[in-house]
A and B are shown apart, each in its own frame.
Chain A
Amino acid sequence: MLVSEVHQPRDLSELLSLMRRLPGATLYAGGTELLREQASRYVTLPPELVSIASLLELRQVSLTERFVELGACLTLTEVLELKESALPELLALALRGVATAPIRNLATIGGNLATRSRFMDVWPALACLDALVELRDGSGARWINLNRLADDDGRPAFPAGVLLSRIRIPLERWDAVALRKVGRCGYPSRDSAVFALAARAEKGILAEFRLAFAGERALRLRDVESRILGRRLPLSAKERSAFAVEYREAATVLSPELALRFGTLVDGALDLLSR
């Protein structure tokens, strides 16, 4: 269907009242995901569209010593241009891997996290950093951990009729971060996903260890993470491979191919940490 009218609210309160009035409306931020697979003459858009990318309230950055808060409609390029102290390295790695510069100039960070068909590249990095997202709808605003935007099966569960307005990312010291895209770039499939890791050691002991993996499903094994914590580095080969096997087995729900890659990546990451 071709849209005849696009709503362009002037500020956040107008947007929220529009969303109350038109509960089925689709939010249009950068539009790069909404138009991604469309190669026909005219773009096909949902009947009710609300354009949000230029709303100033959704484009703010605020920085404290403990966290950075990003408006959901900042483009990926704008986030990459933040000063180093406001941009966690793991997030920068994820952003640089998304598409090409012209797409990153349009694509927003909120749109990347709110895509419902699968988890996009920024998701695992921010899940790993325990980012919070602010969600708004008719009932008000609430902050939740990003990891809660996956259901019990690990599938995307971004609620309908809800605005993602801000993202709060804790600023912590990490000794090791890694991000790897697995599968064919640019062609999301069952066998493509992103793997993100952040770890910190204190006095030779693994003090923090987080690993998130997301594609069609997201995976973060908090019980395994908590068992790895507190171990003395370097980990023995036996410890490493035992954890890699746990991750690989849990990842078989994603796909056999990904599970294998995942196990190898975990083993490699633990090996690197141990050096």
Chain B
Amino acid sequence: MTFSFILNGEDVLVKARSADRLVDLLRERFGLLGPLADCRHGACGKCLILLDGRLAPSCMLPAFKVRGREVITLEGFSQTDEYADIKGGFEEAGLELCGFCDNGRILAVAALLERNARPSRDEILGELSAVPCRCADPETLTQAVAAAAERRARRLYHRARQ
């Protein structure tokens, strides 16, 4: 099947089999290496993308499910101010990680802050349970997301006043 979808803001056309997983198309056809194909069954969160603005595991999306929809990967998201807020918040809280889960974690935090500008500790840990990670301890993670939320709120406040 040949189908089109919007990838990081651009219309793209791709020929694929229905049984191809989106994560493999992104990596192999488009060279987008942010999403990783690790568990391939929805459990590890390393392949997360934003599908029509919502967090989704790209390993659980056969090609036919993507036709006509909008996909944002970490590469696309990293061009936004929201990304800078999250990275800044992580650095501020001293979150030191091996990076294996960065893709999923950053997009999970982005989706959370989009819905809920000031998430509670439980909400943060609930959302990030989609990206189980050996490096991050819950306390530093909560502080990092709170710092990102603070930066985002400040930026939006300044933008509204301009």
Which of A's residues lie within 8 Å of B, judged by CB? 2-6, 8, 31-32, 35-45, 49, 51, 53, 77, 99-103, 105-106, 186
- Complex Cα gap A35–B23 (Å): 14
Inter-chain contacts of B42 with A (CB < 8 A) = 32, 35-36, 99, 102-103
Given contacts A32-B60, A100-B130, contact A3 B40 (CB under 8 A): no
In the complex, which residue of chain A has the Cβ closest to the Cβ of B48? A102
Given contacts A31-B65, A32-B60, contact A45 B40 (CB under 8 A): no
Given contacts A42-B21, A44-B19, contact A101 B64 (CB under 8 A): no
Given contacts A39-B40, A39-B41, contact A101 B60 (CB under 8 A): no
Given contacts A8-B64, A101-B127, contact A40 B40 (CB under 8 A): yes
In the complex, which residue of chain A has the Cβ closest to the Cβ of B107? A102
Q: Is B140 an interface residue (CB 8 A)?
A: no
Looking at the assembled complex, report how far the CB atom of A28 sits from the nearest CB atom of chain B, in whole angstroms: 8
Looking at the assembled complex, report how far the CB atom of B71 sits from the nearest CB atom of chain A, in whole angstroms: 13
Which of B's residues lie within 8 Å of A, judged by CB? 1, 17-21, 24, 39-43, 45, 48, 51, 54-57, 60-62, 64-65, 67, 108, 111, 126-127, 129-130
- Complex Cα gap A193–B42 (Å): 21
Looking at the assembled complex, report how far the CB atom of A101 sits from the nearest CB atom of chain B, in whole angstroms: 5
Inter-chain contacts of B129 with A (CB < 8 A) = 100
In the complex, which residue of chain A has the Cβ closest to the Cβ of B40? A39
Whether A2 pairs with B64 at a CB distance below 8 angstroms is: no
Inter-chain contacts of A105 with B (CB < 8 A) = 51, 54-56
Is the contact region of chain A dominated by helix, strand, or loop, or is it mixed?
loop
Looking at the assembled complex, report how far the CB atom of B104 sits from the nearest CB atom of chain A, in whole angstroms: 8
Looking at the assembled complex, report how far the CB atom of A234 sits from the nearest CB atom of chain B, in whole angstroms: 32
Inter-chain contacts of A51 with B (CB < 8 A) = 64-65
Looking at the assembled complex, report how far the CB atom of B16 sits from the nearest CB atom of chain A, in whole angstroms: 11
Whether A3 pairs with B108 at a CB distance below 8 angstroms is: no
- Complex Cα gap A2–B55 (Å): 26
Inter-chain contacts of A32 with B (CB < 8 A) = 42, 60
Whether B17 pairs with A35 at a CB distance below 8 angstroms is: no
Looking at the assembled complex, report how far the CB atom of A97 sits from the nearest CB atom of chain B, in whole angstroms: 11
Whether B41 pairs with A38 at a CB distance below 8 angstroms is: yes
Whether B60 pairs with A106 at a CB distance below 8 angstroms is: yes
Whether B62 pairs with A31 at a CB distance below 8 angstroms is: yes
From the candidates B21, B51, B56, name the one contacting A43 in the complex (CB within 8 A).
B21
Inter-chain contacts of A5 with B (CB < 8 A) = 1, 18
Starting from the known contacts A4-B17, A42-B17, 10 additional A-B residue pairs (CB-CB under 8 Å) come to A6-B18, A6-B64, A31-B60, A31-B61, A32-B60, A35-B60, A51-B64, A101-B55, A102-B108, A105-B54
In the complex, which residue of chain A has the Cβ closest to the Cβ of B60? A35
Given contacts A37-B41, A77-B54, contact A102 B130 (CB under 8 A): yes
Whether A2 pairs with B17 at a CB distance below 8 angstroms is: yes
6 contacting pairs across A/B (C-beta < 8 A)? A3-B19, A4-B18, A43-B21, A77-B54, A101-B127, A103-B57
- Complex Cα gap A76–B118 (Å): 23
Inter-chain contacts of A99 with B (CB < 8 A) = 42
- Complex Cα gap A40–B19 (Å): 11
- Complex Cα gap A42–B18 (Å): 9
Q: What 5 pairs between A and B have smallest CB-CB spacing?
A: A100-B130, A2-B19, A39-B40, A105-B54, A42-B19
- Complex Cα gap A106–B54 (Å): 9
Interface centre among A32, A39, A43, A51 (most CB of B within 10 A): A43
